[in-house]
Amino acid sequence: MKQIKKSLPLSCPSCASPLKVTSLACEACDTTVSGSFELPLLARLSADDLQFVIDFVKTSGSLKLMAQQLGLSYPTVRNRLDDIIANIEKIEKNIKIP
Amino acid sequence: MNTWLLRPFTYIAGGKALLAGWVIMLITSVVAYFSKTHFDGAIDAHIGSTVTPYYIYLLETLIAWGCMVLACYAAAALFARTSFRLIDIAGTLALARAPLLLAALINFAMPARVDPTAIDPMVIVFALICLPVFVWILVLMYQAFSISANLKGNKAVIIFIVTLLVAEVVSKLLMQFTLPLMLS
């Protein structure tokens, strides 16, 4: 049977507000930690955007190298990064960072 | 396939696009010389029968492309919220002119004209046959501008239309004043 790859839900399916983590579990000893935890900023990005950020870090921030690896043009990759930056700024505005 | 035809700049831009665009522009100017097709404007093609030296065809292409690059660069400097590179604008706009080679080739099939200024059935036939080519060029030029300056949506379309009109007027004026000087 094909395994379904689950992705972390980022917003409430009912009201679209950002979701928080209320429970964390250790699979080794079955301990559960409960509370209200903010998701890290990068974890709020979509899976594709997060992968792009990881690739960007792995290439030491070289967009030229990323463009080569992805087979895309430099401005396409640059635009993708600019869109992610805009998305991060939007997330920062939406969440109240203490 | 569609992406390569309508959005090739997703894959190619910058220096590579500029080099490929220049080579195609050079070939287009040679074909235009033999088929007597003038690309005398940012997005213009006219058929003519007057004898004109080769360098005029090359200059027309370069002026048309140069005006479009400068107009798009100015528009990007005014409206783009993120950084952009001149080489991307220049390269993608050079490659966006590639379909003009088709227009120059189509003109070989047109019979010789007696009066180059008259709007006769031949001119209308040429315009109708070339229409899809020019729609294609417009789509490519818009994509070149949109990707190079990271501008999208209705705002980008309006800015592009105004930019194209400015480039058209400036290129027409430049050609009107410089080309006769070169010929004299």
Residue A5's closest CA among A34, A48, A60?
A48
Interchain pair B147, A82: CB under 8 A: no
β-pairing, B37-38 with B46-47? antiparallel
Would you state the pLDDT for residue A60? 95
- All structural domains of chain A: 40-94 (1.10.10)
Indicate the average pLDDT of chain B: 89
Looking at the partner chain, which of A76, A78, A82 has a beta carbon nearest the beta carbon of B10? A76
Asked if the model's pLDDT at residue A88 lies above 60, the reply is yes
Query: Which sequence spans correspond to the domains of chain B?
Result: 2-183
Average pLDDT over residues B3-27: 93
Average pLDDT over residues B133-156: 95
Q: Are A87 and A95 in contact (CB under 8 A)?
A: no
Which pair of structure tokens corresponds to residue B70?
A: 């400068």
Would you state the pLDDT for residue A97? 53
Interchain pair B85, A71: CB under 8 A: no
CA distance B137 to B120: 25
Partners of residue A82 in chain B, C-beta under 8 Å: 81-82, 150
Would you state the pLDDT for residue B130? 83
Of A60-64, A89-93, B126-130, the poorest mean pLDDT is in: B126-130
Buried (b) or exposed (e) across B56-70, using 16+ Cβ within 10 A?
A: bbbbbbbbbbbbbbb
Between B169 and A12, name the one with better pLDDT.
B169
Interchain pair B85, A74: CB under 8 A: yes
User: B-side interface with A, Cβ within 8 Å?
Assistant: 9-14, 17, 81-85, 88, 92, 147-148, 150
CA distance B67 to A7: 48
3-class DSSP string for chain B: CHHHHHCHHHCCCHHHHHHHHHHHHHHHHHHHHHHCEECCCCCCCEECCCCCCHHHHHHHHHHHHHHHHHHHHHHHHHHCCCCCCHHHHHHHHHHHCCCHHHHHHHHHHCCCCCCCCCCCHHHHHHHHHHHHHHHHHHHHHHHHHHHHHCCCHHHHHHHHHHHHHHHHHHHHHHHHHHHHHHHC
Interchain pair A73, B10: CB under 8 A: yes
Partners of residue B84 in chain A, C-beta under 8 Å: 75
Would you state the pLDDT for residue B117? 65
Of A69-78, B10-19, B50-59, B116-125, the poorest mean pLDDT is in: B116-125
Confidence of residue A64 (pLDDT cuts 50, 70, 90): very high
ipTM score of complex: 0.84
Of B24-28, B143-147, B178-182, the poorest mean pLDDT is in: B178-182
Would you state the pLDDT for residue B79? 96
Q: Which residue of B has its CA nearest to A71?
A: B11
Looking at the partner chain, which of B81, B82, B88 has a beta carbon nearest the beta carbon of A74? B88
Would you state the pLDDT for residue A83? 93
Q: Are B8 and A73 in contact (CB under 8 A)?
A: no
Interchain pair A78, B83: CB under 8 A: yes
Asked if the model's pLDDT at residue B112 lies above 70, the reply is no
3-state secondary structure of A51: helix
Average pLDDT over residues B63-87: 95
Would you state the pLDDT for residue A96? 60
Average pLDDT over residues B86-109: 93
Would you state the pLDDT for residue A29? 95
Confidence of residue B116 (pLDDT cuts 50, 70, 90): low
Q: Which residue of B has its CA nearest to A82?
A: B82
Confidence of residue B110 (pLDDT cuts 50, 70, 90): confident
Q: Are A36 and A24 in contact (CB under 8 A)?
A: no
CA distance B52 to B55: 8
Indicate the average pLDDT of chain A: 89
Between A95 and B150, name the one with better pLDDT.
B150
- Give the HSE-up count for residue B56: Cα atoms under 13 Å, Cβ half-sphere: 21
Q: Are B39 and B32 in contact (CB under 8 A)?
A: yes
